[in-house]
Amino acid sequence: MEAEVSNLGVCFFSGRMLYSVAEKGAKDTVQQLGSYEFSFDVTEALNTPSSEAGVQLKAVFSDLEKEFHLESIRMLTEPTHECWTALPKVVYDDSVEREQHIAILMKGVPREDIEVTWHAVSKTRFKFLCLRRAQLTKNYRSFSDQVAINECCSDFEIGGMWSSHHRPGGSFLLIGCHADSISISSYLLGSFRAATYIHFDDPQDIPYLWLQHAEHSPWLRGLHEHIYFYGEQTHEIAEKLQSFIDHNSAQIVLNSLETMGVNADEETYGFDLATAFPAIMLSLDLS
C-alpha cells in the first residue's frame, strides 16, 4: 500500500530548525513534530547552501524526505530579509508606476534579482507588497529538489493560516518574536489588514522602536480583541510591550498544542512549542 502523502513545514529560531509533518488534507493533526539543534551556523547554511554547513542542512531534509512521502515543503523566511510595504492599488494597476516603486524600494538591485509578491488587504484600495532577493528563495529551495511543491512564506502569511485554522473572528494581532526582530501582523474579520517588522540590536529598545513605528503605522495603536505571540523569548517581548498594546486584549502565547487547537500523538516536547508554531501552520492543509 502506498504511503500517505504529507506536507512539511519548517522554520528556524536561534540556530534551531523546527519542523512539522502533517498528512495531506489534515487541518488540525500533525504526524510528527520535531527539532534539530545544530553545531554549525544555520545562517551560513541558509545563505550559502554549497558550504559545509549547507551540505549538512540538506542532509537533514534528505532524511525527512526518506522518512515521509512529502508532496510539499514550506519554509518560513526571516522578516529582515524582506521589504514590506502597502501601496495604493492604482500603483499596482499601472505597470510603469509599479516597477518604479519596486526600483526605489530595492535601489541598486537588478530587477531580475528581485522576487515580487502582492497580497490583498482588507482595504481594497491598497495592495501589500513583499520583496525578496531571488537568491534567497533559490537558496531555501535548494535544500530539497525532490519535492513537487517547494515554497517560501513570510511571517505575515502565518496570520492568514492561523485565521483559517482557528477562526478567531473579530480582530487580532500576531507577533512573531525573532532573535533580532519582531513581526507584527493585523487581521480584521479574517482578512489581512497590515503588517510591519521592527529590527533591533538590543531588546531593551523594542518599546521605543514600537512607538516610533506607530507614528507611521497607527494600526499598531488600534484595538485588537486578541494578541498572539510566537517564536523565541515570547514572554519577555510581551512584557516589554505591555505599556503599548491594548490592555483589554486577550494576550496569548501560542506555546501549547491545546492553545493552537492542534492534535498530535506526543503530548510533551523538549523544546518551546511557541517556536514551532509557524512550522505547524505551514504543514497543515488550510486552503
Q: Does residue 285 carry a pLDDT above 80?
A: yes
Average pLDDT of span 185-206:
96
DSSP 8-state class, residue 29: B
What residue spans of 23-154 are helical by DSSP H? 42-47, 52-67, 89-93, 95-105, 134-141
Contacts of 126 (CB under 8 A, 6+ apart): 86, 87, 88, 89
> Is 5-77+140-150+260-283 in CATH node 3.30.70?
no
So what's the pLDDT on residue 1?
40
> Residue 245's Cα: distance from chain center in Å?
21
Distance CA 80, CA 151 (A): 18
Q: Which CATH class is domain 168-257?
A: alpha beta
Q: Assign 2 a pLDDT band (cuts: 50, 70, 90).
A: low
Q: Does residue 14 carry a pLDDT above 90?
A: no
> Which residues of the chain are in CATH 3.30.420.260 domains?
168-257
Average pLDDT of span 46-61:
95
The model's pTM is: 0.95
So what's the pLDDT on residue 237?
96
So what's the pLDDT on residue 3?
65
Residue 56, phi then psi, degrees to nearest 5 = -65, -40
Q: Do the Cβ atoms of 52 and 38 come closer than 8 Å? A: no
183 closest CA partner among 13, 25, 8: 13
CB atoms within 10 A of CB 271: 15
Q: Do the Cβ atoms of 35 and 18 come closer than 8 Å? A: yes
Contacts of 155 (CB under 8 A, 6+ apart): 76, 77, 79, 176, 183, 185, 195, 197, 278
Q: Assign 246 a pLDDT band (cuts: 50, 70, 90).
A: confident
Where does the chain show beta strands of DSSP type E? 5-13, 16-23, 32-37, 69-76, 82-88, 114-120, 126-133, 149-153, 171-177, 181-188, 191-199, 226-231, 250-253
So what's the pLDDT on residue 247?
83
Average pLDDT of span 166-182:
94
The mean pLDDT value of the chain amounts to 94
pLDDT digits (tens, 9 = 90+) for 138-149: 999 999 878 878
Average pLDDT of span 79-87:
96
